[in-house]
Amino acid sequence: MTEIGTERPTASTSAGDVQGSVSHGVEHYLGIPYASAPTGALRFALPAPVTPWEGVRSATELGPTAPQNPYAGAMARILPTAIIPGDDYLNLNIAAPAERGEGLLPVMVWFHGGSLQHGSNALSGYQGGAFARDGVVYVAPNYRLGAEGFSVLEDAPLNLGLADQLAALRWVQAEIAAFGGDPTRVTVFGQSAGGNTVAALLAHPQASDLFSRAIIQSGPLTAQPAKKSGRITAKIAKDLKVSATRDDFARTTPEELLAAQARVTAGSTPITGGAGYALTLDPALVPANPFDALTSGAGTGIPLLIGTTTDEARLWLVPSGLVMKLKGIHLALARRKVGISAAAVMLFKRNRPHSITGEILGALATDKLLRVPVNQLADARLSGPAPTFVYEFAWQSPVEYLRAAHAVELGFVFDDLSSPDSLGLAGSTAPQALATEMHKAWVDFAVSGSPGWQPWTAHRPVKMFDGAGNPVVLAPRDDERAALTP
């Protein structure tokens, strides 16, 4: 049991006791290992149980983060990186109310984004105090990233970062009651790459044993065959002059892999393409493309909150200046590559008479990659037993002309607009009223299964978080959705 009312609360786990700290009515436990350090014989292996410790383990400082490179170029100006060295980076942070009644509280488990190669639970915006303030036990695990977590190697398991997330969820099932959390009321939520992994978790056969609700924020619903997802592994192997095998990668230091990763991914973005990491189709963890599995009935018993931002692609196109460089030939090549009709392009242009070519391409990419699949999944779940709630984040950030770009919503969801993470994306004038309402919707969904607006129907209701009334709109921009729907 957790000791309440002390400045140094303790909690007991099956591996040993941990001691946290209290701040503003919130207990924080930082850097608790949920699996053994993935080093030595455990490198490029499935996560192994934690070795128990004696005495009380201090959990008052952030733990190590997964090996990663900082963001490069324009992205570095607006997306922070927290790098804390150390081997025990398969750890999690917990924020829980210091004062709580007799019953156990709902739990929210956050999986950060970052293209499967960036991000950590050490970022200031992900500390989760607002969730604890509002009666939720918040958990934020790290997981293996980049070459350590998503390489395609001979004789090594695939999707190790996803396996880490499953291990973290199993830890939550076994241990969270000691921190006041209810293991039968767990909501998983993730953004971008974290939303991608939540989609895969929702499609996993054990989903209903590990969590009861799911939130996907701007997450691709995809996985790739090993031949395609393994291209970045092959490029790194070629760069380092080694083979794409577990033995050769294990003989390579994490720092050498990161240096090679930086070289082979230079200039790549989710919009313009290039080398990048992806979930891999895998009989053990991702037996089917998550979109195909979910639209065929997987996860239909689990309530789902899912949505996008209005201007997802601007994160990659605008701060870098790329939006000004894209011409008609680039738009023509891109539309043919992903199967967008010329008529759809003309429709998007007519609806945006003052937009330049790069902005048209960005709007098409946003809908084709994210908004249309969200609508298709919501439609497919109509016949299932659990509700689906759809949102769109539409408030326009003034920072670097981002508008409602990918990740701008994060500070609002976490109700922490003053964190450096949020300031970099939303600026200092972001409306607190919007953060209050959006954060409340996430908490309400975790508590009751409803974020406060009507579930998806044939009328296509979408909650628009625009900061100007936040209305529910029926079938927004439905002509464009229909034009891009296969």
Write out pLDDT tens, residues 62-87: 999 999 999 999 999 999 999 999 99
Please determine, looking at this structure, whether the domain spanning 10-484 carries the CATH number 1.10.10.10.
no
- Distance between CA atoms of residues 157 and 358, nearest Å: 40
Examine the pLDDT at 1 and tell me if it is beyond 90: no
User: What's the mean pLDDT when you consider all of the chain?
Assistant: 96
Q: What are phi and psi of 33, to 5 degrees?
A: -70, 135
Residues 6+ apart with CB under 8 A from 468: none
Quick one: how far is CA 168 from the chain centroid? Answer: 15
Examine the pLDDT at 156 and tell me if it is beyond 70: yes
Residue with tokens 């009644």: 101
Reported as a single tens digit per residue, the pLDDT across 253-285 is 999 999 999 999 998 888 878 899 999 999 999
What Å distances lie between residue 309 and 210, 280, 380, CA to CA?
Answer: 28, 26, 21
Under a CB-based contact definition with an 8 Å cutoff, are residues 462 and 473 in contact? yes
- Distance between CA atoms of residues 180 and 326, nearest Å: 52
Q: Please give the DSSP secondary-structure letter assigned to residue 266.
A: T
Under a CB-based contact definition with an 8 Å cutoff, are residues 126 and 48 in contact? no
- Distance between CA atoms of residues 169 and 132, nearest Å: 19
User: How many Cβ atoms from other residues are within 10 Å of residue 346's Cβ?
Assistant: 12
- Distance between CA atoms of residues 203 and 197, nearest Å: 10
pLDDT of residue 2: 43
DSSP 468-480: SS--EEESTTHHH
The residue extents of the domains of the chain are 10-484
Pairing of the two strands 461-465 and 26-33: unpaired
Examine the pLDDT at 6 and tell me if it is beyond 60: no
User: Which residues are annotated as catalytic?
Assistant: 192, 312, 406
- Distance between CA atoms of residues 351 and 374, nearest Å: 21
pLDDT of residue 269: 84
- Distance between CA atoms of residues 101 and 105, nearest Å: 9
Residue 41 carries which side chain, given as an amino acid letter? A
- Distance between CA atoms of residues 256 and 474, nearest Å: 51
Q: Whose CA is closest to 92, among 167, 187, 201?
A: 167
Share of the chain above pLDDT 70, in %: 99
pLDDT band per the 50, 70, 90 thresholds, residue 3: very low
Under a CB-based contact definition with an 8 Å cutoff, are residues 64 and 85 in contact? yes
- Distance between CA atoms of residues 259 and 304, nearest Å: 38
Q: Write down the pTM of the prediction.
A: 0.97
Under a CB-based contact definition with an 8 Å cutoff, are residues 442 and 391 in contact? no
Examine the pLDDT at 5 and tell me if it is beyond 70: no
